[in-house]
Structure 1
Amino acid sequence: MSKLEVNAVSKSFGDNEVLRDVSFSISDGEFVSLLGPSGSGKSTLFRIIGGIAQPSSGTVKLDSKEITGKPGSISYTPQSPSLMPWRTILNNVLLGQEITGSRDEHKALEMIERAGLKGYENSYPHELSGGMKQRVSFIRSMLSPQGLILLDEPFSALDEFTRLDMQKWLLSIWELYQRSILFVTHNIEEALFLSDRIIILSAKPASVKKEFIIPFKRPRDERILLSEEFLQWKKVIYEEMRQQDVSVDY
């Protein structure tokens, strides 16, 4: 587990100001969602947190150690699974461990089974559905040694029912292993169902406009999606984002 601190991060490309004084933190084992419009600088922020881009000002710390400009400190799962087509499913999920010089096939096989992919260990990515590929991609992140995982809209390309199944599966795995997660989405319902806390970014130049602590108990049950309390929270966040002129899926 890891604690992330983003402190007054700003980024400009010439006269184009993308991020302005962005500050937030993620505690050990916390699940935090980031809601913001397309083109608001979210990808730039992720690159800065990941250490592959330098901010114009500000710092990023992990467990009180500065990681600004230092890659390899976090694990990143993009929108597309980004699996290597020439590697089997087992070898794909072990990639992060191989890079750091370790290889725990027993744990990998255990997580593959928990993901409902038992029997696909020696299959290749083209033999899997979109949802199955996303599970493989997330397992790879979970098996990597970094304590913080960035998830960049991993379910955006899935249909509604597959997306809900993936959300429930993600929560079951996260509750078991308690990794720190920063999850980016445009979907208010998804953010509410998954998160301990929701951070709202403004339009570009992005800054943190509001944070909400989500009160729903864990473990989460999908029946909460139909509750009056859940609906009221959706309305509150929707109205806040309308004030910030942020486009989201309601």
Structure 2
Amino acid sequence: MLLQCRNITYRYPHGDAPVFNDLSFKLADPGFHGLFGPSGVGKSTLARIIAGEIGGFAGEMTRQDIAGILYSCNTERLPGWSSVGDHLTKVTPAAHLPLLRELLTAFDLVSCIDSRFSRLSLGQKNRANLTRYLLQDFDLLIMDESLANVDEATRKHIIVTIKQMFPDKCFLYISHSVAEVAAFCASILVLRDVHKAPQMTGVAGRDQRGENAMDRAALERTMLEIVHAA
């Protein structure tokens, strides 16, 4: 499994300066990987380019053994008139219905299945939306702040659960929490300002697979490496 981008250059329509200039990186192997960088550097734009939602860029993007790429973000909203259970059942392929029940339990959504989306908290909406994507067929799922407004303990539980339930899938997790990407991601792509070269660097993460506390000193070293790379 490989996603490789070479010399990606892109500017927003009517923009004066490029967002990306000769940006190159690769994402190899299944697992939980991170995309980190300062606000406004173009993380969501890059994610949408990878997902095929934005075109008009120069450069080359190649995929190997990656047929389906999905993009999930925290600004999506599900139909407010529908109940969680009805909507998720409707959009879930029949073969994945047992997985739906597992995810509802793991993501603490069982108590919400008869509630309309409009009655849910932001954190509940984001958990339900992420569940919807996990039930589809994909090779790479981009999670762009998909767990925003979810408390830290629940985010940790969800990330660990995803890693346990989908070991053969590839995830690209975008978060503003340097501690979170350092702890749970196998590798972190650090996106830098367009004026810095190279614009993308890589850092090895701690790839935590359980919910127990990890070596604080080791985590802090990785966090510092990520911050310095940015």
Q: CA deviation at 1:43?
A: 2.4
Matched, 1:36 2:37: yes
* Number of aligned positions between the proteins: 226
Partner of 1:185: 175
Matched, 1:86 2:81: yes
Distance 1:26 1:94 in 2: 32
Q: CA deviation at 1:205?
A: 5.7
Distance 1:239 1:141 in 2: 33
Q: CA deviation at 1:175?
A: 1.9
Distance 1:231 1:5 in 2: 29
Give the superposed CA RMSD. Answer: 2.6
Structure 1 residue identity aligned to 2:226: I
CA contact (8 A) 1:193 1:220 kept: no
Distance 2:147 2:4 in 1: 26
Distance 2:128 2:141 in 1: 14
Q: Please, which moves more after superposition, 177-186 or 188-197?
A: 177-186
Structure 1 residue identity aligned to 2:38: P
Distance 2:84 2:100 in 1: 10
TM superposition score normalised by structure 2:
0.84
TM superposition score normalised by structure 1:
0.78
Structure 2 residue identity aligned to 1:58: G
Distance 1:132 1:149 in 2: 19
Question: CA deviation digits over 1:195-232, x for unaligned, max 9?
Answer: 00011111136854421112x364233411x6211122
92, 102, 106: which is aligned to 1:114? 106
Distance 1:91 1:29 in 2: 31
Partner of 2:203: 212
Q: Percent sequence identity over matched residues?
A: 21
Gaps of 5+ in 2: none
Query: Would you identify which runs of 4 or more consecutive aligned residues in structure 1 move more than 4 Å?
Result: 94-98
| Structure 2 SS opposite 1:182 | strand
Partner of 1:11: 10
Structure 1 residue identity aligned to 2:203: F
Structure 2 residue identity aligned to 1:199: L
Distance 1:157 1:114 in 2: 17
Distance 2:195 2:145 in 1: 20
Relative distance call for 1:232 and 1:6 in structure 2 (3 A) is same
Question: CA deviation digits over 1:57-114, x for unaligned, max 9?
Answer: 123333357x8xxxxx32121123522212221243356546xxx6743332232122
Matched, 1:139 2:131: yes
Relative distance call for 1:218 and 1:193 in structure 2 (3 A) is closer
CA contact (8 A) 1:131 1:166 kept: no
Matched, 1:175 2:164: yes
